[in-house]
Amino acid sequence: MSAALLSVNDVSIEYKRGDRMVIKAVNGVSFELGRGEILGVVGESGCGKSTLAKGIMGLVPLAAGSIEFDGEPVRPLGRRRRDEAQLPVQMIFQDSAAALNPRRTIGAQISEVVSLRVKQRGEQGVNSVNEVADVLRKVGLPPSAAMKYSHEFSGGQRQRIALARALASKPKVIVADEPISALDASAQAYAARLLVEVCREEGIALVFISHDLAVVRAIADRVVVMYLGRVAETGPTRDVWRDPKHPYAQALIGAIPVPDGSGRRPQTLVGEVPDPANAPTGCVFHPRCPHRFEGCDTEVPELVRFDGARAAACRLLDPEAVGARTAVDYARAQ
């Protein structure tokens, strides 16, 4: 992997519920994103993916840890404007209808981004009308779309407009938070393929957040599997899919339907993600884990690195813990 463009270092993000209760939505997450790399972040709803995305964008403050973009710390969003140094990091939100201003034309919204970029970088001789037309063409829309309003487009087209608006800033990183989950199957395939093609062509790094593991498998170079705010497993996408080590990653991959005509049904992951306000002790996945053993409910597993670029947070990767479990099982069998 190339030198890190985005570094997330032991990040924790907390929310308050009521006067005293503190909820850790993200807990000790770390990863790096290289230039032009596509990183998939997967997990069930409630595992902290969207909160992590907001932290990367500076939309929520960090309770601990740090995030750096291009060697500089990402600062929380101010009341008036975002730190100009962070403009090359753009976000595509899940709800494109809410992300676009219904009272302004598409061209006006994209042109505003072009103007901000020109002002920040001191660019000369930029024709905003031409730039708006160019980014619309990149996402498969005609220049005439600039004169229309967001309600005149379908959901898939609005997501392409959101991508065009992000591209107008000439970003280095795009954070896409469930960008295709609200679309039908055909629109999902087109939107995902378009997003990847544009990022590859422009050399843009992409953080693709999704609960659709099949899509992530098809587009991502590396994957981070999250559960209840923590990283369960991470590594090259192909390796994780071929041989997942964490029981949660195994369960997620086993739940993917395989249209091979064999009649094999997807595996079912029993239970639901716990309320983070009442997170389980020890390994947060242990109440749902089919492989749990003595100590999993009290000891928090650390990320264990193996095979160079891979890591998983599971005591099954700890020879001493597994040895102790085997000894206990053997004694019970006597």
Please determine, for residue 332, whether its predicted confidence score (pLDDT) is greater than 60: no
**Distances 128 to 59, 119, 175, 334 between C-alpha atoms, Å:** 28, 12, 24, 79
pLDDT tier for residue 260 given thresholds of 50, 70 and 90: low
pTM: 0.89
Per-residue pLDDT tens for 202-211? 999 999 999 8
pLDDT band at 219 (very low <50, low <70, confident <90, very high): very high
Q: What is the pLDDT of residues 100-149, one digit of tens each?
A: 999 999 999 999 999 988 888 888 888 999 999 999 999 999 999 999 99
State the amino acid at position 189 in one-letter form.
A
CA dihedral 237, 241, 246, 248 (to 10 degrees): 100
Mean pLDDT score, 158-178: 93
Judge whether 292 and 286 are in contact, CB under 8 Å. Answer: yes
Say whether pLDDT at 1 is over 70. Answer: no
Q: Decide if 266 contacts 254 (C-beta within 8 A).
A: yes
Residues 196-219, mean pLDDT to the nearest whole number? 92
17 or 51: which leads in pLDDT: 51
- In angstroms, the CA 199 to CA 208 distance is 11
Look at residue 334 and tell me whether its pLDDT is greater than 70. no
Mean pLDDT (the chain) is 88
The full DSSP string for 17-86 is ETTTEEEEEEEEEEEEEETT-EEEEE--TTSSHHHHHHHHHTSS--SEEEEEETTEEPPPP-SS---GGG
